[in-house]
Amino acid sequence: MTPDKTKMANDPSKTALNLQNVIAGYGDTQVLNDISFSVAEGERLAVIGRNGVGKSTLLNTLMGLTDLHSGSIEMFGEEIQNLPSHKRAINGLGLVPQTRDIFPSLSVEENLMSGERQGHKIEEAYALFPRLKERRKNGGSQLSGGEQQMLSIARTLMGGPKLLMLDEPLEGLAPVICDMLMDVFEQLASDGKHTIVLVEQHAELALEFSDRMLILDTGAIVFHGDTSEVRQNPSILERHVGLGVT
């Protein structure tokens, strides 16, 4: 997608996201336990962990889709924990959910139009995902899994997010599609306009893509550091996720 000219280029010395002592969950049920970390502008952060440790809840909490029990969330210097989710999106936060959540009865074009905001044109989304242009009149329910994921990502990009959160975007997709999507993420991360938080089960892909890594276990951070550290010491992954890195 063509960069938004109104936005400043990323400055790594500035903080894109800062969480302090976040405790959150669904209703009275607590899922995230005292989460604190920060992400610099333009940085790529991978969040990994076993199933059910709270990775998606973390992204949903940032988006305002869960119940925040305590703690603060700052995005680009502004506290957002009390903002409704649509205002967080307008302020530059974008979430590609694990469930994709495309609108099945709407065409590809309508799906994109539904997320359109001033300055972001559908043609830019088509330039990033040419296949969506070919399918523009097809209903969301007529798309393959890979196409649905492309649509979900493109629709989020239509809102012009500065901080893009991707929740297991490669889940259930063919290797060729995974490679293509990783190329797109690489393109977005390198354009100087996006900070990316990637939740991913495939530790190797996450390591390859990200600058820093955060490992969650039962709702708490058990590791937070540079990916180079994990590469040098693969036992970190083995210990916390039960995975080895080849």
Q: Which residues here bind other proteins, judged by CB under 8 A?
A: 63, 65, 84-87, 89-90, 94-95, 97, 101, 103-106, 109-117, 131, 133-137, 144-147, 155-156, 158-159, 170, 172-175, 177-178
Q: How far is the CB of 80 from other proteins (least distance, A)?
A: 13
Burial 43-53 (b: 16+ CB within 10 A, else e): bbbbbbbeeeb
The label of the residue with tokens 């936005």 reads 7
Smallest distance from the beta carbon of 10 to other proteins, in angstroms? 21
The Cα–Cα gap between 128 and 187 comes to 9
CA atoms within 13 A on the CB side of 180: 14
Rounded to the nearest whole angstrom, what is the least distance from the CB of residue 225 to other proteins in the complex?
Answer: 27
- Closer residue to other proteins, CB minimum distance, 32 or 178: 178
Residue 43 CB, nearest distance to other proteins (Å)?
Answer: 22
Q: How far is the CB of 50 from other proteins (least distance, A)?
A: 17
> Which one, 20 or 201, has the nearer CB to other proteins?
201
Contact at 8 Å (CB) between 202 and 240? Answer: no
CB of residue 46 to other proteins, shortest distance in Å = 18
**Running DSSP on this structure, what letter comes out for residue 162?**
S
β-sheet bridge partners, residue 46 = 198, 213
Tokens of 10: 């990323």
Non-local CB neighbours of 46 within 8 Å, separated by 6+ positions: 198, 199, 200, 206, 207, 209, 210, 212, 213, 214, 227
CB nearer to other proteins: pick between 41 and 167: 167
Q: Would you say 97 or 219 has its CB closer to other proteins? A: 97
Name the minimum Å distance from CB 143 to other proteins: 9
As given in the structure block, the two tokens for residue 190 are 């390198």
What are the two backbone dihedrals, phi and then psi, of residue 95, each rounded to the nearest 5 degrees?
-120, 125
Strands (E), the chain: 15-26, 29-40, 44-48, 67-75, 78-79, 93-96, 163-167, 195-199, 212-217, 220-226
**Closer Cβ to other proteins, 135 or 212, answer by number:** 135
